[in-house]
């Protein structure tokens, strides 16, 4: 009886630890990017960074997420998802702590890449951790860390300059302060990684004992040895070829197109409103609306989606909000800017929806790892051209009708991909 109570207490402690670790990791998935924008002018001046290199910084995250994220399944098989996320959080903390205090643009970019690499593996593996740790609460937990992700992104964008002001206007201090938040996320993931190894060791011992009872004198099975290394879940379902699945491609397209729309909003929406005659302050507030809406809506949307077998209706509804918002901005941006901002903010909640879909479309943890890596790697690569084409069209035409017409077409394609990705199918 006492042993049973101890086991229950241990399980409760582990679940609470996992919730804390997920939230802290999610808070750190975007400040690497969103904290730099407000002080980019000062950073460029101090580092002698050219405009071309500064522009390259806007596309580096997506490329890094795609290339490094594709390695996450192999790393998870070897070290376990918890251990890889722990290493990723440590890389984020190190990159954020050191990069503000270097005097060379290449070194600054390298350290930014280190932090982004840590984020890339966490991007892929957090849905896996949710699937493994909370199989009965996938939607709610995905919504919780999506909400934390939006909160971290918005806070970093809003607070970096005041933080720099608190340190005498030093942009380096304002930028480096986010390393503290990243460092706080490291110990919970270290504890989770130890717990995962301990559980895997118990499982391996049980399997080895069972095998020994049946086959005396024979060695432990390779599966038991893999379990002892903490990667037994990654061994299940190895025959699944994710790249051949229509469901996986629908998820990748949906992920990529929603990311492209989000980057367009982040990079260009304030400029659209300013070109329509609104003040810089108002344009900034309108952009903030699109970000802040994601904090509560991400949680609610993912929680609802996680209870449904089919999420196609939600994907189509979000697409309709996006089409309406972009159409309004195309036709009369200054007529009802707050309405357009709200519509686009709701449409931006496709991100937690696609994360929930990824976790629910895989039959087991191993499949979710590969599906998450495939959808995010392919998706982030697909997202790169969108904002660049929008900027090129804007420069070529001198107006926003052409670029916004392109974005409307991309949103229509996103809606179609979301419909197919949301169907009740598993791989």
What is the structure's pLDDT at 240? 65
pTM assigned to the model? 0.73
Contact 143, 54 (CB under 8 A): no
| Residue 216 DSSP symbol | T
Alpha helices by DSSP H, 167-245: 171-176, 178-214, 222-228
Contacts 24+ apart (CB under 8 A), 108-115: 108/43, 108/47, 108/49, 109/53, 109/57, 109/60, 112/32, 112/36, 112/57, 112/60, 113/60, 113/64, 115/32, 115/91, 115/182
Contact 262, 348 (CB under 8 A): yes
CA distance linking residue 225 with residue 247, whole number of Å: 33
As to burial, measured by CB atoms within 10 angstroms (0-12 exposed, 13-18 middle, 19+ buried), residue 118 is buried
Listed range (194-203, 284-293, 354-363, 379-388) with the worst mean pLDDT: 194-203
On average, the pLDDT of the chain sits at 84
CA distance linking residue 69 with residue 372, whole number of Å: 9
Tokens of 406: 């392109």
As to burial, measured by CB atoms within 10 angstroms (0-12 exposed, 13-18 middle, 19+ buried), residue 112 is buried
- The owner of tokens 């998450």 is 372
- Mean of pLDDT values over 396-420: 94
Residues above pLDDT 90, as percent of the chain? 39
What is the structure's pLDDT at 50? 75
Cα 269 from chain centroid? 21
192 pLDDT exceeds 70?
yes
- Mean of pLDDT values over 393-416: 92
Confidence of residue 6 (pLDDT cuts 50, 70, 90): low
Per-residue pLDDT of 50-78, as tens digits, reads 766 765 666 678 788 888 888 888 898 88
Tokens of 338: 């707050």
């Amino acid at each position: 009886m006492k042993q049973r109570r101890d086991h229950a207490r241990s399980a409760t402690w582990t679940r609470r630890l996992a919730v804390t670790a997920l939230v802290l990791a999610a808070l750190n998935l975007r400040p690497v990017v969103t904290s730099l924008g407000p002080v980019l002018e000062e950073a460029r001046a101090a580092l002698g960074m050219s405009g071309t290199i500064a522009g390259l910084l806007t596309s580096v995250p997506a490329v890094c997420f795609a290339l490094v994220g594709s390695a996450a399944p192999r790393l998870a098989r070897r070290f376990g998802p918890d251990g890889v996320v722990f290493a990723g959080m440590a890389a984020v903390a190190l990159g954020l702590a050191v990069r503000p205090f270097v005097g060379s643009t290449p070194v600054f970019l390298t350290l930014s890449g280190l932090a982004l690499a840590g984020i890339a593996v966490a991007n892929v593996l957090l849905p896996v951790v949710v699937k493994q740790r909370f199989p009965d609460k996938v939607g709610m937990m995905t919504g919780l860390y999506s909400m934390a992700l939006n909160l971290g992104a918005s806070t970093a964008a809003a607070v970096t300059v005041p933080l720099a002001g608190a340190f005498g206007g030093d942009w380096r201090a304002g930028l480096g302060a986010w390393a503290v938040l990243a460092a706080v996320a490291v110990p919970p993931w270290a504890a989770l990684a130890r717990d995962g190894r301990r559980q895997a060791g118990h499982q391996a011992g049980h399997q080895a004992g069972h095998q020994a009872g049946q086959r005396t004198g024979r060695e432990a099975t390779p599966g038991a040895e893999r379990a002892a290394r903490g990667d037994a879940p990654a061994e299940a379902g190895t025959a699944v070829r994710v790249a051949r699945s229509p469901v996986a491609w629908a998820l990748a397209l949906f992920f990529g197109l929603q990311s492209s729309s989000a980057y367009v909003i982040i990079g260009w929406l304030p400029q659209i409103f300013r070109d329509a005659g609104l003040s810089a302050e108002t344009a900034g507030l309108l952009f903030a609306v699109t970000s802040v809406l994601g904090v509560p809506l991400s949680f609610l949307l993912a929680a609802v989606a996680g209870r449904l077998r089919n999420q196609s209706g939600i994907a189509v509804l979000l697409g309709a909000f996006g089409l309406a918002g972009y159409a309004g901005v195309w036709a009369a941006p200054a007529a009802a800017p707050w309405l357009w901002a709200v519509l686009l903010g709701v449409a931006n909640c496709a991100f937690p929806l696609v994360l929930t879909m990824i976790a629910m479309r895989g039959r087991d943890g191993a499949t979710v790892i590969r599906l998450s890596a495939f959808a995010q790697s392919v998706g982030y690569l697909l997202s790169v051209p969108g904002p660049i084409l929008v900027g090129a069209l804007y420069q070529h035409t001198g107006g926003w009708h052409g670029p916004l017409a392109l974005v409307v077409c991309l949103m229509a394609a996103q809606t179609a991909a979301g419909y197919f990705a949301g169907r009740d199918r598993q791989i």
